[in-house]
Structures are given as structure tokens and as C-alpha cells.
Structure 1
């Protein structure tokens, strides 16, 4: 084989490598801009942040910003969706081993509230309802669980897209309330889970069962009793709020 024939495969390999490197650089810059936006919006201030604040934090030019995003709102939507998708991925080891729809719905709804209690920065972004579009992972899993529950004869609702939107909107508002501060926050989360299940057709007994199960399951997970992975944000279970959640004991409702 001649030298030129030997060099050809190496040349092709080098050419094939360039698009991958370009894509890697593109993803790194996008992440850099999103991280900068999160830091900027996490800082308290009297005026809303603007694009100049983000590019200053990211140490990039305005032209670089506009190569990736058209506006600051687009940045926030992308950031919120990334955070929501990451949250869903984080909890899959905990959530996806559950089989019954009522368990999945109750645990899935409560775990977002628990993270809001532990991670204020995250909660501040996901309270924007527009960052949870229908193609976000949380919407896909929620719609699937609702359809499974209806197929099993447990649930009663007219349209799964309407039910999904209702639950996602309720979740965002509950997260916002927790972020702003609410009296007896663990009792508030119990009530939110109960209302979420009732809204899609579970009867009172099933709602109480879901409230109790989701609380005990997440406490067992948070305390390490369940041998399941925990994401980085769950380290905040050592905080005052986290310890209060783990120690919380729900009073059984009268007639339960």
C-alpha cells in the first residue's frame, strides 16, 4: 500500500472528527450562557436582568449570545426546560420502579414539591409555567401515567392533554407557594398531593392512600433506608427544611 493510500483513511478520520468537535464547542457555549443566566437571575436585585447582564457574566460578546438565542425570554425557556428534564432524569431510579399509576402520580407530584423545599434556585426557575412545554419529559411521563390509570379504570378525565396541563400548572403554583413561604409546609404538600389526585378522578380513600404512600416513600429514600441513587440536590436533606421533612409525621385524617 502506498503512502498516499495510507494517508487517505487518516484524512477522512480527521474530517469526520471536525463536526463532532464543533458540536461539542456549541454545546459548551450554550451551557455557559445558560449557567450565566441562572447565576444572574439568582442574584437579588431591584431591576430585572437584561441581556447585557448575561453576556457580562458569561464573558462573551453580544454577537455570541445572538448566535444561540434570540432573546432573554428564549434563554429562560431553554434553561427552565433543561432543569425540568434534568429533574425528571434525576428521579427516574426512584420513580420508574413503581408500577401502579396511583403510586407514580402521587410520588411524581410530591417529589417536585420536596425539591422546591430544598432547592430555592431551581424552584425560582420552574415556577414559570412556560418552561414546561408539552415535549418536556415531565409532561411525557405524566401523560403516560394518566393514560395508564384511565386504562386500569382508576381515573376519570376527558382529555389527557388537559389533565396534564392542569397538573403541571398546579405543580408550578404549588412550587411557587413553597418558594414564597407557607405555614406548615409539610401539611401543605400533603394537601397538594391530595388535590392533584382528586383532580384526575381518584376517590377520597385513594387520595389519602397516595398522600401517605408518597410521604413515607420519599422519607425512606431521603433517609437512605431505600438503597436508591440520590441526585446532588438531595444533599440538601441535611438542611433544616430537609430534616423537618424527614421527621414529619402526618396525622391520619378523621375517618381514614
Structure 2
């Protein structure tokens, strides 16, 4: 993944906040500079094309979160446990970084890069779980299963953003319900949905 400079990280973080707040995929230079606390010239020096900024931010955010989640459960072999961890990490991060969560809630299902963040690893793990007999559903339902996982995660994130549920409750309940829907027994689904979460490692 392309490493961002300090100025670029600051600008991208400000862009995420503005995209989330405005619900639009276009920003003007003045608003972005003010939000990032930098001069307009810094924006021009670090943003190649304002018209493409949303896609650049979405792609960077997707790759970053995908890698961090992957590293967080790299040593976990059980696909059901990996699924529980992955979903709940997204929900916990929403509590820790509300603008990040709001950005995903507004745009994740409509943007290819952001959908990939949800779909790529989940698809691999779900197929592995199906092959190992951890899950019970027709493979022809795979696309619907991945959509269920993504929508359940985003829905739980929204509950956290709205203050309706704590991240722990929203995460555990969403993970348990998805695991049960995939055929994991109720008691085991409850256990997997409440195990302690690992840290979300920072990227070098």
C-alpha cells in the first residue's frame, strides 16, 4: 500500500470527516484546507486532482482497514472466529473514530473500493468455513451471505453512531446473529461473539 506523507494523512483524515458530514463526494479546496488546518497551497501540493479525491480516500481507507483487520486475526484459524473478530473490529473502530464509521455508513455499499474492504476477506473466510463444515448454506447463496455480513456490520455501526447501542453490545449481537444464520449452533455463536477482541494493529 502506498505510504502517505504526514500532510497527506492529515488531508485525507479531514476529507473523511467532510465527506461524512456533507454526504457528498466533492469538496472545495478552502473547506478542506480549513478542516485540515493547512494552507490552500498544501492542498494543491498534496492532492493531485480534487475531482478524484473521494476515490483516492476511499481506496486508501479500504486498503488500510483490510490490512489491519487481516493482521489482527492472522493467527486465528477458525473461520467463524475470524468472522466474529472482523465484524466487531469495524464496529469498535466506529466507536473510536465516529467520522470513519459515518463515512463508511454513507458510502460503503455504493463504492467499489469500500465494498471490497467488506467483501474480499469475508468471501475467503466464508468459503473456507463452508468447505470445513462450519457453515451450512448452499454455495449458490454466497453473494447473499456476503451481503448479509456487510449489511449487518454497517447496521451495527449505525446503532453505535446513533447512540442506540454500545459498540460491545452492537458488535456481539450482530456477530452472533450472523453466525447463527450461517449455521453455527446458538451456544457457540454466543461464545464466539463475546470473546475478547485483539488490538487493531497500526500499519508500518
What is the TM-score normalised by the length of structure 2? 0.72
How much does 1:84 deviate? 3.0
- The CA distance in 1 between the partners of 2:177 and 2:134, in whole Å, is 16
Q: Pick the aligned partner of 2:123 from 130, 133, 143.
A: 143
- Aligned alpha-carbon RMSD (Å): 3.7
Alpha-carbon distance in 2 for matches of 1:187, 1:80: 28
* Alpha-carbon displacement from aligned partner over 1:122-158 (angstroms, at most 9, x marks no partner): 2121212224647734421100011111112222142
Aligned counterpart, 2:57: 79
Question: Are 1:94 and 2:72 counterparts?
Answer: yes
Instruction: Tell me how far apart the structure 1 counterparts of residues 33 and 90 of structure 2 sit (CA, whole Å).
Output: 31
The structure, 1 or 2, with the larger RCO (C-alpha pairs under 8 Å, 6+ apart) is 2
- In the alignment, structure 1 segments of 5+ residues that lack a partner are 1-22, 223-228, 233-256
Q: Counterparts of 1:1-256 in structure 2 under 5 Å?
A: 33-41=11-19, 50-52=27-29, 53-54=31-32, 59-60=40-41, 67-70=48-51, 75-127=53-105, 128-129=107-108, 130-131=110-111, 133=113, 136-155=116-135, 156-157=137-138, 158-183=140-165, 185-199=167-181, 201-205=182-186, 208-218=187-197, 221=198, 230-231=201-202
* Rg larger in structure: 1
SS at match of 2:160: helix
TM-score by length of 1: 0.59
**Could you list the runs of 5+ residues in structure 2 that have no partner in the other structure?**
none
Q: Aligned residue pairs: how many? A: 192
Determine helix, strand or coil for the equivalent of 2:195: helix
CA contact (8 A) 2:58 2:114 kept: no
